[in-house]
Structures are given as structure tokens and as C-alpha cells.
Amino acid sequence: MVYSGKLKVKDNDIQKNLRMYACDFETTTGSVSTEWTRVWSFCADEIGKYDPEIYGSIEEFYDWCADVEKGTRKRLYFHNLKFDRNFIMWHLQNVLGVETRISAKTGSMEKPENLINGEMSYIIDDTGKWYYLAFKYKNILVECRDSLKLLPFTLAEVGKGFCKTYKKSTMEYDDKSSLGDCSPEDID
């Protein structure tokens, strides 16, 4: 094991060019449309650094995923993956044509490292709890995991309890449908 701060990283993960990020989507609310909800912002911050990158759409999320400079294997932690995966999976299946891969040997979801481009796998328990969603896109393996399973607190509580410098900000979400609708304070 290699210790990076308080985070344990397996040696073989480092050899596979694994990079880990905290991620979040911002989505429209019912005040914008009662017929659909869409991602209007995506933020990624590499774990151990504070240099968040902010993008303006779900399409830019996939461009970011395919960016080799950000790593050829990415582990993305979304706080409450059950919500965010709705947008990820919809786009994977309906726009990119990605299909679920079942292992011929086991009859279970394929292991992420065995996926090929255009395939995904996931783990969900009998109660509907999501643990991960993995997909291979443009030769990049992307694993989405649920940080809520690791830190079962609200993001405000995580910030208050674990981070002295940065806290969860508040933003009025009604009537926001793009980054252009945000003030500089919203983005900070």
C-alpha cells in the first residue's frame, strides 16, 4: 500500500494510471421545466488538490472523461451516485450507444478492467443502492463511485467535519439552467 495523505491507494492502481476525482453535477429544477431535468454544470476536482474544473454540460463531462491528460483510468466520486448516475446512464445508453456487459463466465456484471469501448457495468443492491458504475469510453476506463457510502453525511457536514478551509456553499438553484445564470459567488 502507498499512503497519500489519509487515502490508501493500492500499488497496482498507481501502475494503471488511476486518478481520482470528487465530482458533482448541477441540474435544472422544476422552476425551469417540469417536463425534464438536465445537467447544466459539471465540476471535477482531483483528490488531494484544490483546483476544481467547471464545465457547462453533460457533453463536456464526456469530453473531460476522454481527456487522456486527466488520466487513462479515472475513479470519480459523486456524493449520492444514485442521483447522478441517472444522467450518466441516460447519456451513455441513448446518445453514445453504450451497452451493459455481462460476464459470459459468471453471468454477473463484467469487471471494469475487462470492459471494452462502448460497454458499461455497475453494482446495485436489492434495495436500489448504487455502489458503482463503470464504462469504457474512447479507451478511457471511468469508474463512478458513491462517496456517500464512504462518508454517510451531507456535504455540508463533510465540509464542517473534515475540512477547515473549504465549506459547502449555498446557491439558489431556481431559474438556473447554465453557468451564465450564476454569479461569481455561486461558482466559488
Lowest mean pLDDT among 30-39, 90-99, 129-138: 30-39
User: How many degrees, rounded to 5, is the angle at CA 147 between CA 143 and CA 108?
Assistant: 45
Backbone φ and ψ of 74, nearest 5°: -120, 140
Q: Please, are residues 131 and 143 in contact by the beta-carbon 8 Å criterion?
A: no
Per-chain mean pLDDT for the chain: 79
Q: Indicate whether 76 pLDDT > 90.
A: yes
- Tens-place pLDDT, residues 167-176: 555 656 566 5
Q: What is the mean pLDDT of residues 84-113?
A: 92
Distances (CA, A) of 159 to 83, 142, 166: 20, 26, 7
Say what the pLDDT of residue 1 is: 36
Lowest-confidence pick of 7-11, 52-56, 87-91, 144-148: 7-11
If you compute the radius of gyration of the chain from its CA atoms, what whole number of angstroms results?
A: 17
Higher pLDDT, 7 or 57: 57
Task: Please give the distance of CA 126 from its chain centroid, rounded to a whole number.
Answer: 22
Domains and CATH numbers, the chain: 11-187 (3.30.420.10)
Q: Is the pLDDT of residue 177 over 90?
A: no
pTM of the model: 0.79
Longest dimension (CA), the chain: 52
Neighbours of 140 (CB within 10 A): 20
Asked if the model's pLDDT at residue 24 lies above 70, the reply is: yes
Burial 41-76 (b: 16+ CB within 10 A, else e): bbbbbbeeeeebeebeebeebbebbeeeeebebbbb
Residue 182: predicted pLDDT = 47
**Does the pLDDT value for residue 12 go beyond 60?**
no
**What would the mean pLDDT of 112-140 be, rounded to a whole number?**
93
Q: For the chain, what percent of residues have pLDDT higher than 90? A: 35
Torsion of CA 141, 143, 144, 149, to 10 degrees: -170
Phi, psi at 5, each rounded to 5°: 65, -125
